[in-house]
Amino acid sequence: MISVKDARALLFKLVSPLPSETVSLADSAGRCLAADVVATRDQPPFAASSMDGYAVKAAEVELHAMFKVVGEAAAGRRFQGTVGPGQAVRIFTGAPVPDGADFVVIQEDTDRRGDLLTIADEPGEKTNIRPAGADFKSGTKICAPKQLRPEDVALMAAMNIAEVPVARKPVVALISTGDELVMPGEIPGPDQIIASNTFGLKALLEKTGAHVRVLPIARDTQSSLETAFGLAEGADLVVTIGGASVGDYDLVSDVSSNLGMDRAFYKIRMRPGKPLMAGRLGQSAMVGLPGNPVSAMVCGYLFLVPMIRRMLGIQEVLQPFRTAKLAADISQNGPREHYMRAVLDYEGIRACDDQDSSLLSVLAQANALLVRPPDDPARSAGDEVQYLPI
Ligand code: AMP
Ligand code: MG
């Protein structure tokens, strides 16, 4: 058995960053930027009014000053002339500030009769003008690698970047194994249950940036598993769920070995999720997850998410553990690293009462995995502990 840290190091060696492809800006959210992109324009491209009001000369601005309104500047339609002494141009938010003007008196501070404009309230110091390039200048870069958030998409749009270079999505094939499993929506027999963690993992890995293929459930026979592995061909990562332990029907190890899996390790000194195997199988990396729903999901967070991040070219593949204060005492840990389902709120972090690795209802209530090192002594409320947000 190896530690979580060593297992992660070995898992990262099984995958490498994928080549890039180009997607349209509209499809780029959540993708990982594969090359720097550069603005080819300033934003705003001209000095622009930030308010509705009147563009005038700053030197002429004072309470009760009077101006003649000589034209209008709207967003998308500039005033063609120049603002002269004693003149004002009606201006709206986003419009280019006309030549000759360097101050916008906001509408609320003025009184207008026909073409005659009076500053009726103290206008203050603020010019209400956004200088050209105030947001970004031509040449401003968004640097790769970076997982693109909605905010980045908006910024790239403003930069007029319509085509975005991104890392190809890692393709993950998910194989559920077990005679007891049916797909959600099917009618289970009396001894059957629904394949659940399969769909939790699909959601988790897609959120991380992968493309996930859920394969038909493999039954607990050699031939059914072989068929499933055949269907998984071409995936960057093949993940089996269940059948990885030492029971009579746990065939993943044997079948993958027969197919030529080059195994990196088998068991991890952790709870939940001890029986986890990994290696290379043909052109794919392969990870055999334990079947218990919570174990599979926790291993997904700890091992699969970083593997996907590595394939996406993200440099910080490991999301760092955070610290929080315990809201309630916890007892001593055993010899295996423990990832306890826990709830973090304003009072601190609290381990859930029942840590059985089959309880999805407990996992669904949790928003953190409380990390307990091997043989960690009992800890009291107020002590600092580490956790991984989920
Ligand atoms: P196994 O590792 O195949 O012995 O499975 C351990 C436990 O996890 C058993 O109770 C299985 O029924 C359950 N299990 C295995 N795969 C899944 C799955 N995809 N969804 C829900 N439960 C599963
Ligand atoms: Mg099984």
Indicate whether 346 pLDDT > 90: yes
Please tell me the predicted confidence (pLDDT) of residue 245.
84
Please tell me the predicted confidence (pLDDT) of residue 202.
98
Please tell me the predicted confidence (pLDDT) of residue 226.
97
Mean pLDDT on 306-329: 96
Judge if the beta carbon of residue 165 lies within 6 A of ligand 1.
no
Kindly report the pTM of this predicted structure.
0.91
Please tell me the predicted confidence (pLDDT) of residue 249.
79
The burial of 76, by beta-carbon neighbours within 10 Å (0-12 exposed, 13-18 middle, 19 or more buried), is given as exposed
Indicate whether 246 pLDDT > 90: no
For 356-383, write each residue's pLDDT tens digit.
Answer: 999 999 999 999 999 999 999 999 999 9
Ion ligand 2: protein residues whose beta carbon lies under 5 Å: 178, 242-243
Residues 6+ apart with CB under 8 A from 219: 177, 178, 179, 225
CA of residue 241 to ligand 2 center, whole Å: 8
CB 329, CB 378: distance < 8 Å: yes
Identify the nearest ligand to the CA of 197 by its number: 1
For 40-98, write each residue's pLDDT tens digit.
Answer: 999 999 999 999 999 999 999 999 999 999 999 999 999 999 999 999 999 999 999 99
Judge if the beta carbon of residue 215 lies within 6 A of ligand 1.
no
Residue nearest to atom 19 of ligand 1 (CA): 195
CB 279, CB 343: distance < 8 Å: no
Determine the Cα–Cα distance for residues 371 and 319; give it in Å rounded to an integer: 13
Judge if the beta carbon of residue 241 lies within 6 A of ligand 1.
yes
CB 174, CB 212: distance < 8 Å: yes
CB 32, CB 313: distance < 8 Å: yes
CA of residue 147 to ligand 2 center, whole Å: 36
Judge if the beta carbon of residue 290 lies within 6 A of ligand 1.
yes
Indicate the pLDDT class of residue 285, thresholds 50, 70 and 90.
very high
Judge if the beta carbon of residue 357 lies within 6 A of ligand 1.
no
CA of residue 318 to ligand 1 center, whole Å: 27
Indicate whether 190 pLDDT > 90: yes
Average pLDDT of the chain?
Answer: 97
Probe residue for ligand 1, chosen from 241, 250, 255 as the CB with the greatest number of ligand atoms within 8 Å: 241
CA of residue 85 to ligand 1 center, whole Å: 82
Residue nearest to atom 20 of ligand 1 (CA): 195
Indicate whether 135 pLDDT > 90: yes
Please tell me the predicted confidence (pLDDT) of residue 286.
97
Q: Which domains does the chain have, with CATH numbers?
A: 4-17+169-311 (3.40.980.10), 20-43+148-167 (3.90.105.10), 48-130 (2.170.190.11), 322-389 (2.40.340.10)
Indicate the pLDDT class of residue 273, thresholds 50, 70 and 90.
confident
What percentage of the chain exceeds 90 in pLDDT? 96
Judge if the beta carbon of residue 243 lies within 6 A of ligand 1.
yes
Identify the nearest ligand to the CA of 290 by its number: 1
